[in-house]
Homo-oligomer: A and B are copies of this chain.
Amino acid sequence: MELLKQRILKEGKVIGQDILKVDSFLNHQIDIDLCNEMGREFKELFQDQNISKIVTIEASGIGIACITAQYFNVPVVFAKKTESRNLDQDTYESEVFSFTKSKSYKIRISKRYLQSEDRILIVDDFLANGKAIIGLKDLIDQAQATLVGVGIVIEKGFQDGGQILRDMGINIKSLAIIQSMKEGKIKIL
């Protein structure tokens, strides 16, 4: 998606080896017009999939998921990372290892909000090692729902998540794939 690539090249900042900061438009400040363009693009990519629900994970996936859901006319369900008195006891649960934080965390979705007849599109802001998506897929599998696709805003193509998920047969579409970020220089496929 050209508009997104230009924004990444213009505003993205590389920190260390593997952190790409795009918080001016994606995961701290959110450019809603750009989100709408991304939502339209996801709709075009997955329009034939008869999607009934969009699933994401808190927190930074929620904005893009909600804007995208307008184009599919479906609800959003976001997996929770934290224990909460508001959450049902009866949940699907999975464990996700975070390389950034060097620890595992649990993700949960209430059993009420995933049905076996659901055809689900996962939407998330980043794909790196793929662990969060595998965790979400696990929740969807537990519900015997169908994961029909994964829409990613930015895929770090130099990490192995994309390959692993595609090898699992998951239909992933990324709006921008970062080829490398060596010496602070961002290259996009």
Closest chain B residue, CB of each to CB of A34:
B75
Q: How far is the CA of A58 from the CA of B57 in the complex (A)?
A: 12
Known contacts A58-B59, A86-B23, A77 near B28 by CB under 8 Å: yes
- Report the copy number of this chain in the oligomer: 2
- Which listed residue (B25, B63, B86, B87) contacts A62, Cβ 8 A? B63
Q: How far is the CA of A8 from the CA of B96 in the complex (A)?
A: 33
Cβ–Cβ contact B19 & A76, under 8 A: no
User: How would you classify the secondary structure of chain A's contact residues: helix, strand, loop or mixed?
Assistant: mixed
- Tell me if A140 is interfacial: C-beta within 8 Å of chain B: no
Cβ–Cβ contact A23 & B110, under 8 A: yes
Q: How far is the CA of A75 from the CA of B65 in the complex (A)?
A: 16
Known contacts A29-B113, A59-B78, A110-B28, A85 near B23 by CB under 8 Å: no
- Tell me if A131 is interfacial: C-beta within 8 Å of chain B: no
Closest 7 CB pairs of A and B: A58-B59, A59-B59, A63-B66, A62-B62, A30-B76, A29-B113, A32-B69
Interface range on chain A (Cβ under 8 Å from partner): 35 or more
Closest chain B residue, CB of each to CB of A16:
B85
| Complex interface bits, A21-40 against B, C-beta within 8 A gives 1, otherwise 0 | 10111011111110110000
> Whole-angstrom distance from the CB of A156 to the nearest CB of chain B?
13
Which of chain B's residues have a CB closer than 8 A to the CB of A24?
Answer: 112-113
Closest chain B residue, CB of each to CB of A74:
B32
Which of chain B's residues have a CB closer than 8 A to the CB of A76?
Answer: 29-30, 32, 63
